[in-house]
Amino acid sequence: MIGITQYLQEVYEDLQKYVDNDVCLCKFKKLNFEAGSLPDYEDINIQQLYLLRYAFAYAFEYSRMYLDVLAQMDDVNNISVTSVGCGSMIDYWSLVHALEMKRKIDCSIRYVGIDKIDWNYKIRQRQNDELHYLIENAADFFTNNSRFISDVYFFPKSISEFSDSELNVMANSFSSKKIQKDRFFVCISLREDQGSMDRDIQKTKCLIEAIGKNGFKTKWPYTQYNINILIVIMALSH
DSSP state of 51: H
Cα separation, 199 vs 196, whole angstroms? 5
Q: Can you name the residues that pair with 218 across neighbouring β-strands?
A: 234
**What pLDDT, on a 0 to 100 scale, did the predictor assign at position 143?**
94
In contact, 150 and 174? CB cutoff 8 Å: no
Annotate 149-169 with DSSP letters as a single string. --SEEEEES-GGGS-HHHHHH
Strands 130-135 and 147-148: unpaired
Cα separation, 130 vs 132, whole angstroms? 7
DSSP state of 89: T
**What pLDDT, on a 0 to 100 scale, did the predictor assign at position 219?**
67
**What pLDDT, on a 0 to 100 scale, did the predictor assign at position 237?**
58
Cα separation, 199 vs 109, whole angstroms? 31
Q: Is the dihedral of CA 216, 230, 118, 127 positive or negative?
A: negative
Q: Which domains does the chain have, with CATH numbers?
A: 60-236 (3.40.50.150)
pLDDT digits (tens, 9 = 90+) for 164-192: 999 999 999 999 999 999 889 999 888 77
Cα separation, 91 vs 66, whole angstroms? 9
**What pLDDT, on a 0 to 100 scale, did the predictor assign at position 76?**
85
Query: With a cut of 70, which residues of the chain have pLDDT below it?
Result: 34-37, 194-195, 219-229, 236-238
pTM over 0.85: yes
Beta-strand runs (E) in the chain? 78-84, 108-115, 130-135, 147-148, 152-156, 178-179, 183-189, 216-218, 229-236
Of 61, 43, 31, which is closest to residue 157 (Cα–Cα)?
61
Of 102, 103, 110, 100, which is closest to residue 78 (Cα–Cα)?
110
